[in-house]
Amino acid sequence: CCSFFFSSRRRHTRQRSVSWARRCVQETGINAEYMGIFEMKKSVLAGYFRFGKETHYKPDPKGIKAVGLFFGANWSPHNMFFKSKLKEAYNEMNKAGKVFEVIYVPFDAGLSEWELAITSDPWPSIPFGEKEISAYNDEYSVSSFPTLVILKPDGTLISLKGHEDIKAMGAKALSKWIKQILKEL
């Protein structure tokens, strides 16, 4: 069911090893893949996703200012409430053209629950059971549902508090995230 609930000791060890790997790559210039160490994709939109009935959907990154990784589980009542607020904000943000993409990272109880959930979603989903699910979970230390992690299209972290931003500000949260991106430039 939910294989991502690791002990805190194991998660801490994993985080240290990933930090060590990144430091080695920066200091030596050795490719992390050559070392046999997992590294996240550079672009969040680089993979193929499931979108409705389409099994190999690839989002178009043109015009996308921010990407939300929506960690959800449809068995969670909080998830269902937030999902409706997120849909409203998503549709409002993208009214004049696609600037915000959401990617559903499923922690549903089973394949049939996941398939039922994504039929009404206006955004793509990582296919149920894919290894990227636990990789993203480890990367962002997700411990509750729903969680919305906001990233630049290249995968750089903008905010771990997308859930709170959407609940408080709705579609106006996008301008807050864009301001954070511009501050970093």
* Identity of the amino acid at 125: S
pTM of the model: 0.75
Q: Annotate 122-156 with three-state secondary structure.
A: CCCECCCCCHHHHHHHHHHCCCCCCEEEEECCCCC
Distance CA 148, CA 164 (A): 8
Quote the pLDDT of residue 101. Answer: 95
Q: Annotate the chain with three-state secondary structure.
A: CCCCCCCHHHHHHHHHHHHHHHHHHHHHCCCCCCCCCCCCCCCHHHCCEEECCEEEECCCCCCCCEEEEEEECCCCHHHHHHHHHHHHHHHHHCCCCCCEEEEEEECCCCHHHHHHHHCCCCCCECCCCCHHHHHHHHHHCCCCCCEEEEECCCCCEEECCHHHHHHHHHHHHHHHHHHHHHHHC
CB 125 within 8 A of CB 106: yes
Mean pLDDT per 10-residue run, the chain (185 residues)? Answer: 37 43 46 35 68 79 93 92 96 95 95 91 93 92 95 93 97 94 80
Taking only the tens place, the pLDDT of each residue in 107-158 is 999 999 999 889 889 999 999 999 999 999 999 999 999 999 999 988 999 9
Quote the pLDDT of residue 60. Answer: 82
Quote the pLDDT of residue 163. Answer: 97
Share of the chain above pLDDT 70, in %: 76
Quote the pLDDT of residue 58. Answer: 83
Quote the pLDDT of residue 46. Answer: 73
